[in-house]
Amino acid sequence: MAKITRSPPKTTKPAAKKSTKASRKNSIKPWTPAEVREAFTRFRKANPEPKGELEHLNPYTLLVAVVLSAQATDAGVNKATRTLFAAADTPQKMLALGEDKVRDTIKTIGLYRNKAKNVIALSEKLIAEFGGEVPRTRAEIESLPGAGRKTANVVLNMAFGERTMAVDTHVFRVANRTGLATGNTPLEVELGLERVIPAEFMLHAHHWLILHGRYTCLARKPRCEVCLINDLCRWPEKTV
């Protein structure tokens, strides 16, 4: 009697699981224009004239402070720049101070060696190409050593009153967590926020979002119970 051989049962390959984060973003119900307006109306009522927390004396020192703030806290930068800016508040004075002195003055800030090089290099470029003045376009500011898009947006907003959206870690977190403007990169979030936030709020919008992320919508333990927009927030894990 011939031996019957049976082929092993076919196994169905499990479907690839979608990223939880991606599926969560896709399932978030977009904010309505009325909800966005309500959120920023509340921010404005609570803090009509929000200010950035980086201490500076003029557009040049603001530019330097923002460059130094990469991967550092505003408080830590302020502690170092009080001494630095007392000695050098223009590109010319910064060059006269010299890289070694700049490095020693800012050594409490992370990546201080490379940042000292950038401060000297951007000061040289400001003098050589822009008459010692901070330029007023994003592309020109981004051309300076150590300055990226976020730096340019902060300087354009705070020094020159442009309605730009600077996306730091706080803004990126708040925008994604609340569902206000989701994105995988700071640029995606920046453009998303610019699309949904009414023009009347744009001058102060990035400050409101930064301060909200710094003091309320914290990274590890958000303070949902005191959040001004907790009823509008789309975060599925909010505690209220």
Catalytic residue ranges: 150, 168
Q: Tokens 């967590």 correspond to what residue?
A: 177
| Residue 203 tokens, joined | 């001058």
The angle subtended at Cα 226 by Cα 235 and Cα 163, nearest 5°, is 70
Alpha-helix runs per DSSP H in the chain: 20-27, 33-46, 59-68, 74-87, 91-97, 99-105, 112-130, 138-142, 149-160, 169-178, 186-196, 202-215
Q: Which two tokens stand for residue 71?
A: 């991967």
Cα–Cα distance measured from residue 121 to residue 103, given in angstroms and rounded to the nearest whole number:
13
**Which of 129, 137, 125 shows the shortest CA–CA distance to 64?**
125
Q: Residues near 49 by Cβ (< 8 Å), separated by ≥ 6?
A: 204
Contact partners, residue 211, CB within 8 Å, separation at least 6: 47, 50
